[in-house]
Amino acid sequence: MDDADALLDRLRLAGGVPRHVAVIMDGNGRWAARRHLPRPLGHQAGMAAVREVVEGALAAGVEVLTLFAFSRENWQRPPEEIDALMTLLEEYIARERDELRRNGVSVRVLGDLARLGPGARAAVDRIVAETAGGTGLVLNLCISYGSRDEIAQAARALAEEVAAGRLGPADVTAEALAARLWTAPHPDPDLLIRTSGEMRLSNFLLWQLAYAELWVTPVLWPDFTRRDLFEGILEFQRRDRRFGRVPA
Q: Which residues are catalytic?
A: 26, 74
Q: Which of the residues 85 through 124 are near ligand IPE (CB under 6 A)?
A: 85
92 binds, among Mg ion, ligand IPE, none (CB under 5 to 8 A by kind): none
Inter-residue contact 42 to 31 (CB < 8 Å): yes
DSSP letter for 161, please. Answer: H
Least distance CB 195 / ligand IPE (angstroms) = 8
How many residues sit in the footprint of ligand IPE (CB under 6 A)?
Answer: 18
Least distance CB 85 / Mg ion (angstroms) = 12
Residues near 64 by beta carbon (within 8 Å), at least 6 away in sequence: 19, 20, 21, 137, 138, 140, 186, 187, 189
With H, G, I as helix, E, B as strand and everything else as coil, classify residue 203.
coil
110 binds, among ligand IPE, Mg ion, none (CB under 5 to 8 A by kind): none
Least distance CB 58 / ligand IPE (angstroms) = 22
For ligand IPE, what does the binding mask look like between residues 186 and 225, x meaning CB under 6 A?
----------x-x-x-x------------------x----
Pairing of strands 64-71, 138-145: parallel
Which candidate, 73, 54, 77, places its Cα nearest to that of 65?
Answer: 54
Which candidate, 210, 190, 150, places its Cα nearest to that of 63?
Answer: 190
Q: Which of the residues 17 through 56 are near ligand IPE (CB under 6 A)?
A: 24-30
Candidate list 8, 69, 229, 233; residue touching ligand IPE; CB under 6 A? 69
Candidate list 44, 57, 70, 111; residue touching ligand IPE; CB under 6 A? 70
Which candidate, 78, 86, 49, 19, places its Cα nearest to that of 219?
Answer: 49
68 binds, among ligand IPE, Mg ion, none (CB under 5 to 8 A by kind): ligand IPE
Spatial separation of the C-alpha atoms in residues 211 and 241, rounded to whole Å = 8
Residues near 169 by beta carbon (within 8 Å), at least 6 away in sequence: 162
| Minimum CB distance to Mg ion smaller for 26 or for 190 | 26
Applying CB under 6 A, the residues found at the interface with ligand IPE are 24-30, 68-71, 74, 85, 196, 198, 200, 202, 221
